[in-house]
Structure 1
Amino acid sequence: MTPAIVFLEKQKAAFTLHQYDCTAQDDFGAHAAEQLGVPPERVFKTLLTEGEQGAVVALVPSSGKVNLKRLAKAAGVKKLEMMPPQKAERLTGFKVGGISPFAQKKRLVTVLDASAQEHDTVLVSGGKRGLSVGISAAEIARLLNAACAPIAE
């Protein structure tokens, strides 16, 4: 059981678990979509960014990428850049390819791409490679106090 799953259970969140065999070395979201047989726009990747005001988590579909200007605006900061993978691992406590938005070492500002609202549930990392969580956009927003904005392109 990962810290993310423990967190979701403690919060009595409505979610489903989806396990798959992860053999990818990069583009983990697209790999998860393929392995689980779901459209890539329903599998959201957890990306970490940083700026002068600190770190911001972006949740965007694996079929796209984050627009850093739109993310900064949604987070109420001036400028953001992608965080190096090793720093993201240290900050969250999860390995790249398995970084969950839930139960990170420190609660960070989180922005969910508005497209998540187009689906009953989206898949996000469950805290390790090969484990995804099916959860609604509303539940993500509630659990993480996440903003919802059009941040993907």
Structure 2
Amino acid sequence: MNSPAVDIEVKRLPHGEGLPLPAYATSGAAGMDVVSAEDIILPSMGRHAVATGLALAIPEGYEVQVRPRSGLALKHGISLPNTPGTIDSDYRGELKIILINLGTDAFEIKRGDRVAQLVVAPVQIGRMVEVAELDETARGAGGFGSTGVRTG
């Protein structure tokens, strides 16, 4: 069963003219592909905020998560250093995709290339409540790696 679609208003900026709006590549896709509005060469270990030529008005109560594309990550080492990135509902500036090249070779991005995917997600507001003590759990205060690597 599909959830009802959430309308997200999109303003096309001048350098985004002629580019497709973010869209789902298949009927089962969770993320919409978003494309670059610029040509760049991303050097090995380099980072760049890639322009999309779009600004969004995300409804209150939602966020848009920016996630890497698996093919770019596997084949070229292209990822997002803050994945998933969050676009808040009150942000109205240009959507830019922060990419990092973890590969050994420079990577060319051309205008119109798919660079990331966007996932629309509801936001649950939390409230911090200060207490003197926390309840006990089986894990307790065990930190990074405390549950081990292997099962069984």
Normalising by structure 1, we get a TM-score of: 0.28
More helix by share: 1
